Amino acid sequence: MKDLRKNLKFAWQYANNVKSKIIMFIVFDFAQIIISIILPIISAKMIVKLTSNELEQVLYLAITLFLIQAGRNIIDFFTDYYIRYSYKEILKKLQMDLSKTILKLKNSCIEKTSSGLFIQRISGDTTKIADIFNIISLEVTSIITDIGIFIAILIIDFRIFLFIFILVFIIGIIERKRIQNRINNEKIIRKDNDLVTGFIGELVRGTKDIKMLSAEKSFLNETDKKITNLNEKRYNMFKIQRRFRVSINTLKDFQTLAIITLLLYFISKDEITIAYALVIHNYVGRISYIVKSFSNLVDSIKDFNLSCNRIFEIIHSDKYPKEKFGKKHIDNVKGNFEFKNVSFSYIPGYEVLKDISFKVKEKSMVAFVGKSGSGKSTIFNLLCKLYESNNGEILIDGININELDRESIRDNITIISQNPYIFNLSIKDNLKIVKEDLSEEEMIDACKKACLDDFINSLPNKYDTIVGEGGINLSGGERQRLAIARALIQKTEIILFDEATSALDNVTQLKIQKAIENMQNNFTILIIAHRLSTIINCDRILFLEDGKIYAEGNHNDLLNNCEKYKELYDMEIEK
């Protein structure tokens, strides 16, 4: 009960916008409950009057029954409207809140967790939570109706009531065991389902690579193992549930036979009239539904609690750590950066950056070079606060990055990564993601600067062309140029290029290089590059090796004073 109260309170906070609708739903539902109790009583009176040959009274009761049922249908219409509307709004708010929370999770948490887990919780668990108000209402209405019939039988004959009560009690014990077994297995199955969903997502996203690696057989074998394991667990659960249902249905059938036998015995002894025996017989089958309704209610509440716990785990628990920002706000970041004795490791015990220190002045253009794994991209990740340093300080305009709010960091820094993610939208919508009120002039200007406008105009649907999931319909260079255009539209004071020209041909690279040079002295620009020819004109170049700054200076300084830099440059020239 403690979990239920906590989870209902959790669910109720998502009903703020529809409280009036839920209140009206409760009022109309209460009216349904009253009608559900009255109808069996009127029906019973009709049977008694019919067996007594009081036909006029039967007609009056039939008309009364019709009018009440007509009223119930109208009430049912409005009840359904209020609960469906509330369900829609609660589900939307809940799914949006969960989506927002996922976007606030630390990158390290996202990378360690299967995407299937988040997909299942957004699509599946939220549905069960939003539906709880409707389920509780339906099952409680059914239970109260059954209790009304139960009381009617008690009034007619205590002995039959006691017999039914004992059988219902036994069925209830079996149902309780059935529900507990299902919930225990459901917890395991949902976890496995998260893994299977994530793995199938990998199969879909990695189809091209799977084909080119000729790994279809091994990948399908692994898929088969995971799906078979999941479905086997589901089958075993259903097998056990089926045994429970057979036992319960057998008891219900025995109840029907036993009560008919008892009624015949009592009629033969003149201890009950045929009319009342018919009333009991007509409604005794309905009594067994009280166990089913109660079981459904308990079942749904257990599902609801399980779903709440799974979502609560993401939104409120420390198991899925969230990004933390400070409270200081800078309206206009100038672009001065400083790393002071910064160390960082993705894997405990293996440092990627080792006590690194450097400064970047505003409006300057600084490049980072070095072999793969030397820590270049990590510097960008720390600067954008996608990760937090283990030691040292990172300053933006003299303020520790941990003291700044999210907007001061993310709204003022644009990163163009080596493998930008392009959404399964049109080219125009991919650009509007960063600016909803994007004008056509701004869009075209950004694409021209990114050397993409000519290509877009060659497409049949031009800017309305759908690019496919991950930009699959575009080449690597086109995806990267689209990301550059997207970054230009953001118009931030700081632009980070993480191998942004690596997938471009030489002609396009020169055009992009010219665009970057045109930005020089207007933006603070940081560049990670393997192609040293793209950073010759940088104000400063930092050469990284093994997580440390091995050398720094402009291009000519490093050519003359850093043998390793000269080797890299000479190798590039030879190519």
Q: Is the pLDDT reported for residue 368 higher than 70? A: yes
pLDDT, average across residues 394-421: 83
Between CA 536 and CA 558 the distance in angstroms is 11
In contact, 494 and 487? CB cutoff 8 Å = no
Q: Which residue has 């399980």 as its token pair?
A: 306
Between CA 512 and CA 353 the distance in angstroms is 30
pLDDT, average across residues 244-252: 81
Q: What is the rounded average pLDDT for all residues in the chain?
A: 78
- Over residues 509-555, the pLDDT tens digits come to 676 676 677 666 777 888 887 777 777 888 888 888 888 888 888 88
pLDDT computed for residue 512 by the predictor: 67
pLDDT computed for residue 573 by the predictor: 65
Between CA 67 and CA 61 the distance in angstroms is 10
b or e along 309-323 (b: 16 or more beta carbons within 10 Å of the residue's beta carbon)? bbbbebbeeeebebb
Q: Is the pLDDT reported for residue 163 higher than 70? A: yes
| Superfamily of segment(s) 2-315 | ABC transporter type 1, transmembrane domain (1.20.1560.10)
The one-letter amino acid code at 317 reads S
- Over residues 28-44, the pLDDT tens digits come to 877 877 777 677 667 76
DSSP 321: P
pLDDT, average across residues 241-250: 82
**Non-local CB neighbours of 96 within 8 Å, separated by 6+ positions:** none
Between CA 87 and CA 99 the distance in angstroms is 18
pLDDT, average across residues 482-494: 80
337-574 placed in CATH 3.40.50.300: yes
Supply 48's token pair: 């008694």
Q: Which pLDDT band, with edges at 50, 70 and 90, does 556 fall under?
A: confident
Global confidence as pTM: 0.64
Supply 516's token pair: 């970057």
Instruction: Return the SS3 of 505.
Output: coil
The one-letter amino acid code at 405 reads D
Q: How far is CA 131 from the centre of its chain?
A: 17
pLDDT computed for residue 511 by the predictor: 66
Helix boundaries (H) for 316-345: none
Q: Which residue has 């019919």 as its token pair?
A: 50
DSSP 328: B
pLDDT computed for residue 305 by the predictor: 79
How many CB atoms lie under 10 A from the CB of residue 359?
13
pLDDT computed for residue 469 by the predictor: 67
pLDDT, average across residues 68-76: 84
pLDDT, average across residues 485-503: 76
Rounded to a whole number of angstroms, the CA Rg of the chain reads: 35
Percent pLDDT > 70 in the chain is 86
pLDDT, average across residues 465-483: 76
pLDDT computed for residue 506 by the predictor: 66
In contact, 366 and 360? CB cutoff 8 Å = yes
Domain boundaries, the chain: 2-315, 337-574
